[in-house]
Structure 1
């Protein structure tokens, strides 16, 4: 079971996901697949262009939506007159039916049903009102009523108060109760006297209830729904019945909105060209230190039919090696080159991100080794000057560059039968559709095996050296330890000579997953 905490306080998943969108940026291996999609490349270019591009894209979206609405209005006006008249006839029929019902309040049916209950039981209500009055105030059968008994109690307490004033509050309570009983008796008597049988009103109420129930069946299921339907029918009738804008005017509006979309798209295209030119230069500068000294990169922008995102198709063209022609990124980049491309792209965006954003890289070093891995390690460390960087890696060169080193282990443990029985049973739905609660117990009676993940901070230099030696592998134990010590020493020296101003928020953490 997962638990989420923010500054030590437990929060729900929804809040955590909202915070993650603002504070954490995850770069996983699957993003290299998204990177080759044209729509994703266009979105990245817009993001790189910053506020001017994003705001212009919003203006394009607004203009495009207005154009679509103008087109819809024109198409609506172009509907055949016969269809329009048929719809008008149907609307008028329903409106006449609902208008004849004279609907007023949404709760009219409930109020009438209450009145019907009262009118249908007038005699019984009169009899019971008289019984209540007798029990409270005046009993014709010789038995003392509640008011009589309370009067006796009040008189007795008045004599007792003469000898003990502490009983005065009790006397006040009894006197108050007597007054309340008298008032209740007066009201129930008035209620009973006011009741009269009214067969004519009862018939009117029953007929009205029948009308309203029929309206609910046809236009409901509730009276409120029927009233809302009536209002919507009237609004549609007014819209269709009015002359509205002429066809020529709607055609002019549509043409004007199309021209507006074209103008806004042209402005967006210019901004994208400018952003693409800047991205080309910056990305090449970021790729060269990653063992791609001869890399070429261009942003190709080609026209398409205008959409809410503009009238441009954006394609990243890439040539990693000398003599190779520029081709779309999807056709030319290998796995390792794609990883470096993605890292360089993140570096280009990091300057626009708010300092303190947590960047998580999952296997960003996939498909690379040796000198390239070292270059990636240096680039990750430079990113950590402005951001907190978490990196999942199997590369010793990258792990050695980290400020902190965590080890992730997957272990198989035995789960006792007793703990299985204590766990909440899982509901299952059978073929008949009913739900059964099932607790699964191994048939052998032996402990059940499960996999757990443990994360350990390697805060001792010796443990970290051993871990990096294990990552290196392929050598004798002593050679691996010496190699790990050399990597840690070189990384420490490089960090000291790093000229980028360090922010307090920056920290590189490498997680080695075993």
Structure 2
């Protein structure tokens, strides 16, 4: 249940806090007053699409925060996502929009934890369901009608749809493989010849280390300059450790420095740290001298090895030019070549084997579709009865509805075409919903359908209706009001309406209106001079009508557009009838 909505710098809203309650929550106001902005905010905070117009002019950041009280099914889902609830089963969804130049960024949080839009969209399914009259256009499409039937059928149908989807993908994969094999058998043999030649060539090279070429080049450089390296290593040894020309080596000079510092340290202990550094340097120089001496002694000219290295380098460079450019890419290519070669030479890939696989996959798909069709027929029968039951109280006592399932071309959703057939009046031939229902009838049909889904889902949450009662009046409007109130006994219902009959039954009534306010704005009057002057801005304000007088006045406005005595009297009668309706249902 949505308990609190906080909006800041969103569209025409500067700052707004709304506290919703259980039952039927109604938003009323003049056309263009900003009611849709409230619904937009709920949509956006739960992962809806955003654009620049949602940032209030003159600001660069908007934020929306929605607080929900959740049930056990959602708690289980949150545990799976490793998201903790706040105190008393509270869930807070927060979204922040930031405009930087032409770039619009958004961040979503659930109970303070940063999440992505995909996760927020999954959460949305547990929290709210938004229904608008514009959805009636979608209802005309048979594809959408099939989707609605599947959703109504629940988990059993949805699980079988996954079976059908997997079977379809496997069937099409075998079909593609078979067709490819039939069309390219000659190409396959030609390709095998090429692969065999390349495979043998690369096998003979015996590649294993992607760094081999670099290592060989380093070894070749060393073997090509053995004499120079011997001479230089000996010279280095002379400089560091032992000089044949009678000059002191670095080790000798450091030893002298060590002796001097040792004498100094007897008189000043501050010299100790310097002495330690010199001792360390002397040790390292001695070790370096010994190491370079060993290195020079170990160097040997090896013309045969040098020839081998150069030949191997030339071979690897040629292979890289042909399959590379790098040795690692050659190795990767060889791995792919092996896989392709195995696929093309696999004895199981014969045409007869592929034809058998194709037939088996097709039979599995057919069986999965048959099971899905049975489940859809069962769900359609239930929907026929329940939808008629839901429509009758909506001034459609003689309505006929049939969810017809007929064969269609196989696809990833099965082999069924679903079409809603509808006859609203006695004596009229049953026809597809898309060619029969009027605007008012479609509104009632959509509301009844939503009632069917609400019962099928068997879960609590918030149902949002955006002017679902548009285009109706009188008895039909009263029937819609009663249906909305009936839904609100199980679910929290949030409804935007222009119908006083609907508003009269509200448990919580909010009036939305636009107001003009003054805001401080900087205005440049001269060069390098600015003044803070008042600026007239339009903002959306929402007032909760929590007493009889304010509700009566708002209903009068909805009824007659003014607060004349006759409108007030009619509004009072609506409130009396609404209270009587509530008491009669208890």
Look up the match of 1:472.
Answer: 559
Look up the match of 1:439.
Answer: none
1:154 CA drift (Å): 7.0
After superposition, the C-alpha distances for 1:408-453 in whole angstroms (9 at most, x for unaligned) are: 4567889988599xxxxxxxxxxxxxxxxxxxxxxxx999999876
Look up the match of 1:267.
Answer: 371
Look up the match of 2:331.
Answer: 227
Provide TM-score, normalisation by structure 1: 0.75
Residues 216/59 of structure 1: CA separation in 2 closer, same or farther (3 Å cut): same
Residues 332/137 of structure 1: CA separation in 2 closer, same or farther (3 Å cut): farther
Look up the match of 1:318.
Answer: 422
Look up the match of 2:257.
Answer: 152
In structure 1, what is the Cα distance between the partners aligned to 2:217 and 2:551?
A: 81
1:455 CA drift (Å): 5.3
Is the 8 Å Cα contact of residues 522 and 532 (structure 2) preserved in structure 1? no
Residues 144/263 of structure 1: CA separation in 2 closer, same or farther (3 Å cut): closer
Which runs of 5 or more residues in structure 1 are unaligned? 421-444, 500-514
- Which structure has more relative contact order (CA 8 Å, sep 6+)? It is 2
In structure 2, what is the Cα distance between the partners aligned to 1:55 and 1:159?
A: 88
Look up the match of 1:79.
Answer: 183
Is the 8 Å Cα contact of residues 63 and 257 (structure 1) preserved in structure 2? yes
Look up the match of 1:66.
Answer: 170
1:9 CA drift (Å): 6.0
In structure 2, what is the Cα distance between the partners aligned to 1:209 and 1:463?
A: 92
Look up the match of 2:481.
Answer: 377
Residues 379/164 of structure 1: CA separation in 2 closer, same or farther (3 Å cut): farther
1:236 is aligned to 2:322? no
Which runs of 5 or more residues in structure 2 are unaligned? 1-60, 63-95, 97-107, 525-530
Is the 8 Å Cα contact of residues 106 and 223 (structure 1) preserved in structure 2? yes
1:285 CA drift (Å): 1.0
In structure 2, what is the Cα distance between the partners aligned to 1:240 and 1:345?
A: 54
Is the 8 Å Cα contact of residues 154 and 171 (structure 1) preserved in structure 2? no
Provide TM-score, normalisation by structure 2: 0.67
Residues 219/415 of structure 1: CA separation in 2 closer, same or farther (3 Å cut): farther
User: Superposition RMSD on alpha carbons, in Å?
Assistant: 4.2
Is the 8 Å Cα contact of residues 154 and 175 (structure 1) preserved in structure 2? no
Is the 8 Å Cα contact of residues 390 and 451 (structure 2) preserved in structure 1? yes
1:175 CA drift (Å): 4.6
1:41 CA drift (Å): 1.1
In structure 1, what is the Cα distance between the partners aligned to 2:579 and 2:112?
A: 33
In structure 1, what is the Cα distance between the partners aligned to 2:272 and 2:389?
A: 97
Instruction: Count how many residue pairs are aligned between Structure 1 and Structure 2.
Output: 474
In structure 1, what is the Cα distance between the partners aligned to 2:202 and 2:468?
A: 67
Residues 8/92 of structure 1: CA separation in 2 closer, same or farther (3 Å cut): closer
> Between Structure 1 and Structure 2, which shows a larger proportion of strand residues?
2
1:350 CA drift (Å): 1.1
Is the 8 Å Cα contact of residues 254 and 282 (structure 2) preserved in structure 1? no
Within the candidate set 343, 364, 371, 2:447 is matched to: 343
After superposition, the C-alpha distances for 1:70-113 in whole angstroms (9 at most, x for unaligned) are: 33343344336433322222322433443354322233345445
Q: How does 1:335-414 map to 2 (within 5 A)?
A: 335-353=439-457, 355-409=459-513
Residues 295/117 of structure 1: CA separation in 2 closer, same or farther (3 Å cut): farther
Within the candidate set 377, 380, 397, 1:293 is matched to: 397
Q: How does 1:172-321 map to 2 (within 5 A)?
A: 175-176=279-280, 178-187=282-291, 190-191=294-295, 208-209=312-313, 211-244=315-348, 246-321=350-425
